[in-house]
Structure 1
Amino acid sequence: MSGPSPAARLVERAITWYQVRLSPRKGYSCAHRIAHGGDSCSGAVRRTVVERGVSRSVLPVVLRFAACYQAVALLTPHQRVQGVCCCGPIPIPFGFGRR
């Protein structure tokens, strides 16, 4: 069996860079990891891409981000949470919870 594809290795390196350089500076932790334990979303996505390849990881990654969205609601039912999703090439601002 061969190793990860070049695209999967590139994604793995990009996520590793994010985990080392950006994630420690953002000031909050992955809601899914806090609510359920285990890997953070970036760690889970990294592992999935290495194991399955980029194209076969799209659906599991989308499902993981949906589960993280639900974890935010679980952890903060009466407050508003705002931040920026940095686990991709484009930072996407988000807000959850009540105003």
Structure 2
Amino acid sequence: MLSRAALSGIWAYQRFVSPRKGFSCAYRVAHGGTGCSGFAKAHIRDHGLLASLPAIRRRFAACKAAALHLRTEDDPQERSRKPKKSRWYDKCDPSLCCGCDPSPCGRGKSDAADGCGGCDACACSP
């Protein structure tokens, strides 16, 4: 029941709010694929609302990091500002890796031996 309500809310956002806000999801712009709302909708549909909340939170944190990165590329003054201290999960979502498995530490950092080949989404640091 909660999942249906969340999916309805996401649908309403995608249908009525997103087309009028004037900008795109920073994660989608930086990395391609679906936007955050599409990611959340698919994850909730596949795993349920409560099981999806941690992955959605990580995705929103990755989107925030992508927005900051895109902003610093556009505005040289932003580069000179001191960034906030980030946490490893602000930048990392192991479920978004290019097929690599997260390391035993659970922080998504991949080794070259696992065949991932330097997937950016797995390059997290504690």
Q: TM-score, normalised by structure 2?
A: 0.57
Normalized per residue, the structure richer in helix is 2
Deviation above 2 Å: which 4+ runs of structure 1?
none
CA-based RMSD of the aligned residues comes to 1.9
Match of 1:67 among 54, 62, 66: 62
Match of 1:82 in 2: none
- Gaps of at least 5 residues in structure 1 are 1-5, 80-96
Residue 46 of structure 1 corresponds to which residue in structure 2?
41
Q: In structure 1, what residue type is equivalent to 2:13?
A: Y
- Paired with 2:56 and 2:38, the residues of 1 have a C-alpha distance of 11
| Structure with greater strand share of residues | 1
For 2:12, the equivalent position in structure 1 comes to 17
How many residues align? The count is 78
Higher relative contact order (CA 8 A, sep 6+): 1
Deviation of residue 14 (structure 1)? Answer: 0.9
Q: Which amino acid aligns with 1:72?
A: A
How far apart in 1 are the matches of 2:50 and 2:10?
A: 16
What fraction of aligned residue pairs are identical, expressed as a percent? 39
